[in-house]
Structure formats: C-alpha cells, structure tokens
Structure 1
C-alpha cells in the first residue's frame, strides 16, 4: 500500500474512532487498509425504514487520488437495497464513485451520500438493465463505465 493511501486511511480511521460515525453509519471492520466494512441505515421515514445494509470499501494504493471501490454486500444473509441506482449484485451507479470523485471525499462522506440517496428514493425498483448488467458485470464495480444521467431518484 502506498504511503499516501496509508496515511490518509490512518487519519480517517483515527477520526472515526475518536469522533464516531454519523447516526445510522457503523464501522463493522477495518482490519487493514485494503478493505473496510460499514453498515448504513436510513434514519427517519423512508422506503428503507428499519432496514440496514452492509457496504464494502476496497482501497487501491492510489487512494484518495482514485476513488475506492464501494458496493453493497450481497450474500450470507445480506442483500443490496432495491433502488434504481443499485444493482442486485451490490454495484452502485453513483457519480461520486466515478467521474465526480474528489480526493476531498472520504469513507464517511460516501456513507452519508449513500444514506441520502436511499432516503430520497420514492419507489423501490432495480435499474432497468439489472439482469443484463449483473450477468456481465466485472467483480470490481470500478471496472464498469456507468452512465450518470438520472439525479432525480
């Protein structure tokens, strides 16, 4: 792991331990600087009230210059939320994880953004191309070139 990535992730982890996570975000595991797990829950009234989802973050040595690979965990009793920007394999079509990534963002800001994305959802449904995408999707969602065209969901 590159020094910049290790320093940044160490700083983020220290802040999480000292300041805690926002309401509805829980650090499950951060045993190394390659893969972290969080649960997120939407607070208040929403289509996802009472539901919790696990997120997996994978970091490259170029983090935070490059975005982490983030996806909802699927399997072992975990499911991805049914949402127009979330595929059933857990991949997330969100511009902040792709072409709108900024090194200013961090793991907590990603978790909060995904909470907000779920909270603003008006109808639980999968992306229209879910079956085709899941059948041909790479294991790493960062290898997908998503088209970001719908900010209304």
Structure 2
C-alpha cells in the first residue's frame, strides 16, 4: 500500500496517541498505513453516556490540509455486546457528526487527538437526549462518507 504524503506526521501523531493518557479514549485498532483508526470514546459519570462508543477516523490523502472522515460506528463484541451510536443533538443515527472542527473550522494545526478531545467534550457537555431535528430527513439522502455532507448547524450551544 502506498504511503501517505504526510506519513511522518501520521507516525508522530500515532506515537503521541500511544503515549497520551486520554481518560475515556482508547485506540482499538489501526491499519499499517496509519490512515484508518478505530477508537473507543466515553465520558465519566454521565447519565446519558454510561457506555463507550466506537469512532472511526479515516485519514484522507489531503490530510492535514483537509480534515479526516470521522463517524461513530456500531460494533458487536463478545464482552460488551452491541455498541450503539450515542444520542446527541449533533450526532445523526447513522453516526455522522455535525461538528465545525470536522469541516469549516479545520486547520492543519488540528490533529487526531484534537478531534477525539472535541468529540468527547461535545458528549460530556450535552444534557439533551435527542437526535438532530432533521435526523430522519438527513438519513434519506446521507452519503456513506460524512465529509460529502452539507451539514446545517442548528445550534452552537450543545
């Protein structure tokens, strides 16, 4: 498999993630080229999010100039059963995340770690147990890749 144009940066981020102590965040798997990752992400002592959730991060060829493709995924394990998509006003039931950092607010200074911490913070500060108001409509036409979506930012308060 050809290496990524910014393989050195990906390796540096990968090594930093291995050393970082990010409570509630764990690397589950990655591919050899460091362009696809699965993480578990959870928040402590939160009634709405008692479990950990699975998050996939796909690094595009244009990274770090362009943001990765990031979404929650469902998975089934022998020990935890089925991990659902978290219910949140900015997370669609297909796992797509409406977050400025993953779109227009992305800069090359951002990293995989900043994505993980932003999503964890988004979960931690939420007190509303609901999906985005346009969830049903969005699912009818949503592409597989969340980067191909044109999100409507309903609310900056959550």
After the TM superposition, list the runs of 4 or more consecutive aligned residues in structure 1 that deviate by more than 6 angstroms.
Answer: none
Deviation at 1:78, TM superposition (A): 2.6
Distance in 2 (CA, whole Å) between partners of 1:114 and 1:91 is 12
Q: Which fold has the larger relative contact order, with Cα–Cα distance below 8 Å and residues 6 or more apart in sequence?
A: 1
Aligned residue pair count: 150
Distance in 2 (CA, whole Å) between partners of 1:21 and 1:28 is 14
RMSD of Structure 2 on Structure 1 (CA): 1.4
Q: Is the 8 A contact 1:83 1:121 kept in 2?
A: yes
What is residue 101 of structure 1 aligned with on the other side? 106
Deviation at 1:104, TM superposition (A): 1.1
Stretches of structure 1 that go unaligned for 5 or more consecutive residues are none
Q: Is the 8 A contact 1:85 1:93 kept in 2?
A: yes
User: 2:4 aligned with 1:2, yes or no?
Assistant: yes
Distance in 2 (CA, whole Å) between partners of 1:123 and 1:149 is 14
TM-score by length of 1: 0.91
TM-score by length of 2: 0.88
Stretches of structure 2 that go unaligned for 5 or more consecutive residues are 77-81
Deviation at 1:149, TM superposition (A): 4.0
Q: Is the 8 A contact 1:46 1:120 kept in 2?
A: no
